[in-house]
Amino acid sequence: MATRRALFSCTAGLALLASASAWAQDTPLNVLWMGWPEEQVEPLMDAFREAQPDITLNVERIPFAQIFQTIEVRLNARGGDPDIFIVDSPLTASYVARGYLLDLTPHLDASRFTKAALAAATVDDKIYSAPFGSSSALLFYNKTLLEEAGIEPPSTDPAERWTWAQLVEAAEKIAKPDQGIWGFVFEQAERPYQLLPLPMSLGAEMISPDGLTATGYVDSPKSVEAFQFYQDLYQTNQVSPPGVFDNNLTFELFGTGKVGFFVGNPYDLVNLPTKYPDLEWGLAPHPYFADGTPVTPTGAWHIGVNPNTDQMDAALTFIDFMMQDDTQRLWLKIRPYPPVLEAVWEAEADTTFADPGWAIVRHELTETARSRPATPGWREYEDIMRLAIRDIQTGADVQATLTAAAERTDRELAKYR
């Protein structure tokens, strides 16, 4: 692919003219990146281009729904393309098992990273993915809808966080399904990322300690109880819009004032005012089950180097640049994931993180954050659970669906045993 692309650019007459000066010094570096909006990607890449004019970055932005398949296809070709790719942190072990990731231990200073980020990047005591962002969850609410329904907004204090029962009670007062007004929606309504904290809040473990068995975990009584609650949101309480799975749609529903409560990510702190400046919204900590403990999701994007890259030096230069304090502060500005560098938390303590929303995030990251199940088969686990969650939402029997999903997962995990 790279050679064919190179061939095309060589034969194009214009390219000849343009590359006359760059010919001698040009090092192409192919980067497979998440499909975030251009303005949340290009400033970073431009900063790199400015710092390293000899390296020509080719950045491909792939939509979230296709990114994991694309990485699989491209890396499994076992060639040198892409040189760099974005890594969803729970997939690190999966990629290591497949030989997709270069060991970055000698190139990173482990002491700079937060503990959780480092743990997500480490397999067998080696760091395989460079931590680039963490994540958390916040309860956003629409002030106007709450006021209209006469609901006292939840407190920002994590000690007074709402239970799920409180949330459902409030959401029921807001929801008018026949008018397209809903009480509550998960931003990632089909993704285990945002939904596994439900069973985890009840104390369920969602995979065996060795990460290779799902039966007895995914379909445990506590897991069934949690996903029954999830189903009830759509079927019984009817506070959530069934069949809306796309992150962009759930975000739009909240942004356009059609949803009272919304479990979202810290990056929505920037996305909401940018896209929906007129929306009046507030923040509270993530809800929990009264007979359980608060649990929030975490983990996010890391950066990996293809061990087969032909541009090793340039690839490591890229990693080095992205791990710098200044780069990660810029990244925080354009798309605020909770930082993975202690230095960024400190540098922004009195500015960005003085915001009460970030105080909640900081609290969650240190007190309630739980990583997704550690398994080399996360790709398979995630997709099987995603389909099960869709079925559960549509009204399928929760126990039967989870048992079938667990059996399916065990079949797929067999290859890692």
Partner 1 sequence: MGNGIRERGWIPLLFLAPALIGLIVFRLAPIGIAIVGGFLQQTLRGETVFAGLANYLDLATDPVFWNSVRVTLLFNVLINPFQVVVALGLALLVFRPGPGVTFFRAAYFLPMCVSLAIVSVLWNILLDTQLGPVNGLLSALGLERQPFFRSESQALLTMIGIASWKGCGYWMMFLLAGLYAIPDDFHEAARIDGANAWQRFRYVTLPLMRRPILFVLIADTAINFLFFAPVYIITNGGPAGATDLLMFQAYQSAFAYLNHGRSLAISTILLVVIAIFAMVEFRLFRSPSDA
In the complex with partner 1, the residue whose CB is nearer, 336 or 376, is 376
Residue 34 is a binding residue for partner 1 (CB under 8 A): no
Residue closer to partner 1 (CB basis): 369 or 388: 388
Q: Which of 188, 165, 213, 220 is nearest to 390 (CA)?
A: 188
Residues 234, 239, 244, 248: what is their CA dihedral angle, to the nearest 10 degrees? -150
CB of 128 to partner 1, least distance (A): 15
1 or 16: CB nearest partner 1? 1
3-state secondary structure of 138: strand
Please give the radius of gyration of the chain, using alpha carbons only, rounded to the nearest integer. 22
Q: Distances from the Cα of 287 to the Cαs of 148, 168, 249, 315, 390, in angstroms?
A: 22, 10, 22, 41, 22
Select from 52, 1, 58, 71 the least CA-distant residue to 28: 58
| Per CB under 8 A, 391 contacts partner 1 | yes
What's the closest the beta carbon of residue 196 comes to partner 1, in angstroms? 18
d(CA 284, CA 297): 15
- Which residue in 2, 97, 119, 374 binds partner 1 (CB under 8 A)? 97
Q: How far is the CB of 355 from partner 1 (least distance, A)?
A: 34
Residue 312 in the binding site for partner 1 (CB under 8 A):
no
Q: Quick one: which segment of 266-274, 291-299, 315-323, 396-404 binds partner 1 (CB under 8 A)?
A: 396-404
Binding range to partner 1, per CB under 8 A, among 107-115, 149-157, 328-336, 379-387: 379-387
Cβ atoms 267, 335 nearer than 8 A = yes
Task: Report 179-198 residues binding partner 1 (CB under 8 A).
Answer: 180
Is 35 near partner 1 (CB under 8 A)? no
**Strand partners for 186:** 263
- Among residues 44 and 385, whose Cβ is nearest to partner 1? 385
Q: Does residue number 334 form part of the binding site for partner 1 (CB under 8 A)?
A: no
Q: Is 69 in the site for partner 1 (CB under 8 A)?
A: yes
| Residue span binding partner 1 (CB under 8 A) among the ranges 8-16, 81-89, 152-160, 403-411 | 403-411
Is residue 64 near partner 1 by the rule CB under 8 A?
no
The one among 117, 301, 408, 410 contacting partner 1 by CB under 8 A: 408
Query: Among 61, 173, 329, 390, which residue interacts with partner 1 (rule: CB under 8 A)?
Result: 390
Residue pair 48/321 in contact (Cβ under 8 Å)? The answer is: yes
Name the minimum Å distance from CB 368 to partner 1.
30
- Indicate the residue among 177 and 273 with the shorter CB distance to partner 1: 177
Mark 246-265 with x for binding to partner 1 (rule: CB under 8 A) and - for no binding: --------------------
Q: Is 396 exposed, middle or buried (0-12, 13-18, 19+ CB in 10 A)?
A: middle
Cα-Cα-Cα-Cα dihedral sign, residues 70, 72, 73, 77: positive
Candidates 76, 155, 274, 366; binder of partner 1 (CB under 8 A) is 76
Write out the two tokens for 137. 């969850």
Burial 86-122 (b: 16+ CB within 10 A, else e): bbbbbbbbbbbeeebbbebeeebeeebbbebbbebbb
CB of 236 to partner 1, least distance (A): 16
Site for partner 1 in 106-135 (CB under 8 A): none
C-alpha span between 383 and 94 (Å, rounded): 14
Pick from 379, 385, 398, 402 the residue near partner 1 by CB under 8 A: 379
**CA separation, residue 150 to residues 146, 165, 173, 178, 259 (Å):** 6, 17, 9, 20, 15
In the complex, the smallest distance separating the C-beta of residue 50 from partner 1, rounded to whole angstroms, is 37
Residues 303 and 97 sit within 8 Å (Cβ to Cβ) = no
Q: Quote the tokens at residue 201.
A: 């809040």
User: What CA–CA distance (Å, rounded) separates 17 from 128?
Assistant: 40
Residue ranges binding partner 1 (CB under 8 A): 68-69, 72-73, 76, 78, 97-99, 177-178, 180, 241-243, 379-380, 383-384, 386-387, 390-391, 394-396, 401, 404, 408, 411-412, 415-416
